[in-house]
């Protein structure tokens, strides 16, 4: 049927609290007077004509008053709700909107692959799926798209804390089609363009200062890293948080880092 026949919205979940790097979503990029991390993301999404609206989903924690102020100053729609039950925020936003499809993003990912989002939207519109997520893009650039009906169903029927905190597990578990849409970024799928740690911010800050224009497009960022490959080493050892990992899975992830740091005795204990 084509993407143009549908109403499509984007929801960015964002909060100021973070155990590893608080306040990151409103940090400037570059640090010397640049747009905030969240503003880079919003401005990029506004370039996508197929998106009807971008809404910020933040929490009612007083710490997130700063996000509300940012949204009010920039005339960006927002909703504040339960800090832990992120699914309930999405549910409340969607109940008030006549969207057909929803893109889900997180506010600590300033690099938006706009052309890849367009490709995903067109694929999803023609696929008759209820949910699709991407893979193959650098960390921080992958995203999810789902129908409004799938999210409403999750908002009504999801029961576990895990499902409520991470928004889409309930939807993914019900999806009856292959859910991945895979991109090829020619070896850059492990490039960290998310901001979980101060070193992530330092890396992207260097990129933002070094690219030839102020737009943090995926192409601009990859071109800069190709010319300056040492930049990617700044945060390459950071471990990406993935909810629901088992102890065995986490130990396997830890082994190469211990090897790199020369902590061979600890590695032996873990392997046992």
Query: Tens digits of per-residue pLDDT, 209-265?
Result: 999 777 899 999 999 999 999 999 999 988 766 656 555 555 555 666 556 656 566
In a domain, 46, yes or no: yes
Residue 190 within any structural domain of the chain: no
- Provide the token pair at 155: 């908002």
Are 142 and 221 members of one domain?
A: no
Residue 52, domain CATH: 3.90.550.10
Q: Are residues 205 and 123 in the same domain?
A: no
CA 160/CA 168 separation, integer angstroms: 12
Let me know if residue 187 belongs to a domain. Answer: no
If asked whether residues 129 and 209 sit together in one domain, one would say: no
Where is pLDDT greater, at 34 or 13? 13
Residues 144 and 31 in one domain: yes
pLDDT at position 20 is 87
Question: Does 211 share its domain with 130?
Answer: no
Look at residue 193 and tell me if it is in a domain: no
Together in a domain, 227 and 258: no
Do 46 and 120 have their domain in common?
yes
Number of domains, the chain:
3
Report d(CA 193, CA 211) in Å as an integer.
14
Query: In which domain, by residue range, is 221 found?
Result: 198-233
Question: CA-to-CA distance for 219 and 231, rounded, in angstroms?
Answer: 16
Residue 191 lies in a domain: no
Each residue of 200-211: b (16+ CB within 10 Å) or e?
bbebbbbbbeeb
pLDDT tens track for 96-155:
999 999 999 999 999 999 999 999 999 999 988 999 999 999 999 999 999 999 999 999
81 phi and psi angles, rounded to 5 deg: -155, -160
Mean pLDDT value of segment 11-28:
94
* Residues 145/102, Cβ–Cβ less than 8 Å: yes
Residues 132 and 220 in one domain: no
Three-state SS at 163: helix
Domain assignment present for residue 206? The answer is yes
The distance from CA 142 to its chain's CA centroid, rounded to whole angstroms, is: 7
Q: Tell which residue, 185, 163, 179, 51, has the closest CA to residue 105.
A: 51
Q: Which residues pair with 4 in a beta bridge?
A: none
The pTM of this model reads 0.89
Yes or no: say if 148 and 156 are a contact pair by the CB < 8 Å rule: no
Same-domain pairing of 15 and 88: yes
Under 8 Å between Cβ of 62 and 142: no
Domain membership of residue 238 (yes or no) is: no
CA dist 211 and 254 (Å) reads 33
The two tokens of residue 9 are 């919205």
Of 209, 198, 203, 256, nearest to 230 (Cα)? 203
Does the pLDDT at position 11 exceed 50? Answer: yes
Q: Are residues 141 and 270 in the same domain?
A: no
Instruction: For residue 271, tell me if it sits in a domain.
Output: yes
Q: Which residues pair with 9 in a beta bridge?
A: 53, 102
What b-and-e string marks burial along 100-109, b requiring 16 or more CB atoms within 10 Å of the CB?
Answer: ebbbbbbbbb
Phi first, then psi: give them for residue 121, nearest 5 degrees: -60, -45
Distance CA 87, CA 123 (A): 25
Closest to 132 measured CA to CA, from 100, 103, 110, 89: 103
Euclidean distance between CA atoms 117 and 111, whole angstroms: 12
Q: What is the Cα–Cα distance from 243 to 270, expressed in whole angstroms?
A: 21
- Give all strands (DSSP E) within 3-121, no chain letters: 8-13, 28-29, 35-36, 53-59, 78-81, 101-106
| pLDDT digits 0-9 by tens, 79-94 | 999 999 999 999 999 9
- Note whether 80 and 209 are same-domain residues: no
The answer to whether residues 211 and 255 belong to one domain is no
165-207 pLDDT, tens digit per residue, is 999 999 999 887 778 999 998 889 999 999 999 999 999 999 9
Q: 44 and 215 in contact (C-beta within 8 Å)?
A: yes
The pLDDT, as a whole number, for residue 263 is 59
């Amino acid at each position: 049927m084509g993407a143009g026949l549908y109403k499509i919205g984007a929801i960015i979940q964002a909060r100021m609290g973070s155990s590893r790097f608080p306040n990151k979503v409103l940090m400037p990029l570059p640090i010397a007077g640049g747009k905030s991390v969240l503003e880079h993301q919003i401005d990029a999404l506004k370039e996508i004509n197929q998106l009807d609206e971008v809404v910020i989903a933040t929490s009612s924690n007083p710490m997130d008053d700063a996000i509300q102020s940012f949204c009010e100053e920039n005339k960006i729609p927002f909703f504040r709700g339960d800090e832990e039950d992120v699914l309930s925020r999405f549910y409340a936003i969607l109940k008030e909107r006549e969207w057909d499809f929803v893109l889900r993003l997180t506010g600590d990912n300033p690099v938006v692959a706009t052309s890849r989002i367009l490709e995903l939207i067109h694929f999803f519109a023609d696929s008759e799926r209820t949910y699709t997520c991407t893979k193959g893009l650098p960390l921080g650039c992958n995203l999810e798209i789902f129908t409004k009906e799938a999210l409403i169903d999750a908002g009504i029927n999801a029961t576990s804390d895990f499902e409520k905190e991470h928004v889409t597990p309930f939807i993914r578990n019900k999806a009856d089609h292959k859910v991945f849409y895979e991109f090829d970024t020619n070896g850059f799928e492990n490039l960290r363009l998310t901001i979980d740690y101060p070193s992530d911010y330092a890396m992207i800050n260097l990129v933002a200062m070094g690219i030839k224009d102020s737009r943090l497009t995926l192409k601009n960022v990859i071109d800069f890293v190709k010319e300056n490959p040492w930049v990617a080493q700044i945060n390459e050892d950071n471990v990406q948080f993935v909810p629901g990992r088992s102890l065995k899975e986490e130990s396997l992830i830890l082994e190469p880092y211990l090897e790199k740091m020369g902590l061979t005795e600890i590695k032996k204990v873990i392997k046992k």
